[in-house]
Copies of this chain bind each other. A is one copy, B any other.
Amino acid sequence: MVIEQLELAFHPGSVAVVGASSNPLSPGYRFALHLVNYGYRGRIYPVTLNCSQVLGLKAYPSLRDIPGSVDYVICCLPAAKVLDLLAESSEKGVKFIHLFTGRFGETGQEDAARLEMEVLRRARALGIRLIGPNCMGIYYPEEGMAFAYDLPTEPGKVGMISQSGGAATEFIHYASLRGIRFSKVISYGNALDLNEADFLEYLCHDPETEIIAGYVEGVRDGSRFLKVLRQAALVKPVIILKAGRGNAGARAAASHTAALAGSFKMWETAIGQAGAIQARTLEDMMDLVVSFYFLPPILGTGVGIAGGGGGKSVLSADAWEEAGFTVSSLPPEIAERIQNALPEMWWRWIGNPVDVSIFPEEAIIANLGGNILRMMAQNPHFDLLIGNISVGGPVSETELAAGVRRQVSDIIDIHKEAKPLAVVLNTGALGLEESDKLRWKCLAEEKAKLLAAGIAVYSTADQAAGAIIRLVSYHQRREAISRSLSAPEPRSSSRS
């Protein structure tokens, strides 16, 4: 039932922004603006006593003055006016309200918390469902609904639930730089009525969502959340960032969304047992989402790494091995092919990771680096290939750019071989001045090409390995479950 109700919230025929405003710095203006700018196709009704038009749209003094029906209300009124809005909404037949309105329980004030409980009681009595209060609501690019500026307008396959609107906005902005796009994002704040379990259940069944990411400070209904989490994790990868883990974090969570943060140890265990994937920071969650977004299922841990000089090769070997991957020597089939092309010294010397800085000139001209990666792509020894983009070394920026371009074009080509492949490329944290230099410009350009080709790009080997090993574990677990389900019923043991 919750799922059908949320379907209405995601596909309203009309939206009223109550507390709309013509002041560009006000939330009531912004929510109306986003509906217009992101291309929402239903009717938009600004509701305000202060002006007759908002953004060229006719404004109404109250919900009851609106001629048509209203499917979804975005409420930007102060907390004290929410009870009246509920009454008016009920009269108008409104079934769904997003309460952007904050300053309820999260303030720590008793009267505010009491008012919040009264809002819930009244909404329940009237059969109105609530998102929030104290939240940004819905970002659903497909439908033209959004809660912030400059979010991608193209849809994608990540569904996100986030107790924090700021964390959600930051996540979307930064993840979009890494090629990630979203199906639906729900910022749900205090989770007074509809809560994390409802949204998670919805995304679990949502055909537009293939990966679920969640930023959660506390849960309203622990046992139901865990049940839904378990169900969802069986169907698609669910990545959970639990925030408010320590004392200070729990205190901050309480004053942010009135959340009861709970014991983190219990959380960790529960997330793990449910088969969900735990993220430690927003950036870690981004690396995980990038992995599930761009990489197919991987069941083995054999990794073949090529590109970069000696230091990068040594550091890469450490990072991948420490994360749990196997970085073994080149298999005889590949060594043999190098043997046919180069004198003894090299075919004995070249290893995995492939240090391309030791190649003799003829090997560079013959593009041995790219060729070895291609041989790895065709070799069953490797479950995953990593292209390390060479960014150090003694070459000039022109030579660097030429080398990186060649490497990236090889990688994009090899990526078509259907072997899982990812790239480690650090574009650097640029100031303005630097971004004009070819050295950095070329890295940014080539990164854009990799993303356009649908390739997972990470800043460091450490981040890549740490995220991808959790993808491997997730798929191994799923494989084990589906194997056990399809296995014949075990016969009763001889002992019984």
Contacts from A to B (Cβ < 8 Å): 24-25, 27, 30, 102-103, 106-109, 112, 136, 147-150, 162-170, 173-174, 177-178, 215, 217, 243-249, 251-253, 255-257, 280-283, 308-322, 327-329, 344-345, 348-349, 351-353, 355, 357-358, 390-397, 399, 426-435, 437, 439, 441, 444-445, 447-448, 451, 459-462
Contact A460 B283 (CB under 8 A): yes
Q: Is the CB of B173 within 8 A of A321?
A: no
Which chain B positions have C-beta within 8 A of A352? 248
- Kindly list chain B residues whose C-beta atoms are within 8 Å of the C-beta of A108: 348-349
Residue of B nearest to A24 (CB): B396
Complex Cα distance A413/B422, Å? 43
B348 touches A167 (CB 8 A): no
Q: For A312, list chain B residues within 8 Å (CB).
A: 164, 166-167, 170
Known: A170-B391, A255-B358. 8 other contacts (CB 8 A): A107-B345, A148-B393, A167-B309, A177-B428, A248-B352, A251-B329, A281-B319, A283-B460
Other-chain residue from B109, B215, B433, B459 in contact with A448 (beta carbon distance below 8 A) = B433
With a cutoff of 8 Å between Cβ atoms, the chain B residues found around residue A321 in the complex are: 245-249
Q: Is the CB of B430 within 8 A of A310?
A: no
- Chain B residue numbers with a CB within 8 Å of A444 are 430-432, 435
Kindly identify which residue among B136, B148, B318 contacts A249, using a CB–CB cutoff of 8 Å.
B318
Q: How many angstroms from the CA of A283 to the CA of B348 in the assembled complex? A: 31
- CB–CB A313/B167 < 8 A: no
Q: Give, as a whole number of angstroms, the nearest-CB distance from A341 to chain B.
A: 17
Q: Which residues of B contact A25 (CB under 8 A)?
A: 399
Q: Are B430 and A308 closer than 8 Å at their CB atoms?
A: no
Which of chain B's residues have a CB closer than 8 A to the CB of A445? 431-432
